[in-house]
Amino acid sequence: QKEVEQNSGPLSVPEGAIASLNCTYSDRGSQSFFWYRQYSGKSPELIMFIYSNGDKEDGRFTAQLNKASQYVSLLIRDSQPSDSATYLCAVTNFGNEKLTFGTGTRLTIIP
């Protein structure tokens, strides 16, 4: 079993709709959770991180964490064509700087 799992996609969403990206992790000791966006041919860039159960909102992005279910998700509201990218989920343990990445979900926003 992979430590961090994501559906590779591609996930196609109409422009203006909500895109929902999901991630599960195997290590119950995981404490911090990150979502990175990577455009084709570019490097990953951090969108947001979350530590506590519940929702965290930043503009059009909402991260949701459920530690009991070992599940973290990213919602993108009012999807734009510029949101088309691969989204990487990453986790780390308390006091550990080492990030473990999922293989990413490729998202395509259809105009």
Residues engaged in binding other proteins (CB under 8 A): 32, 34, 42-46, 49, 88, 97-104
For other proteins, give the closer residue by CB, 51 or 78. Answer: 51
Min dist CB 3 to other proteins, Å, is: 11
The burial class, CB within 10 Å (0-12 / 13-18 / 19+), for 19 is buried
* Cα–Cα distance measured from residue 69 to residue 71, given in angstroms and rounded to the nearest whole number: 5
For other proteins, give the closer residue by CB, 42 or 77. Answer: 42
Min dist CB 101 to other proteins, Å, is: 4
DSSP-assigned states of every residue in 23-45: EEES-TTEEEEEEEEE-TTS--E
Min dist CB 11 to other proteins, Å, is: 17
For other proteins, give the closer residue by CB, 64 or 102. Answer: 102
* Cα–Cα distance measured from residue 83 to residue 67, given in angstroms and rounded to the nearest whole number: 27
For other proteins, give the closer residue by CB, 40 or 69. Answer: 40
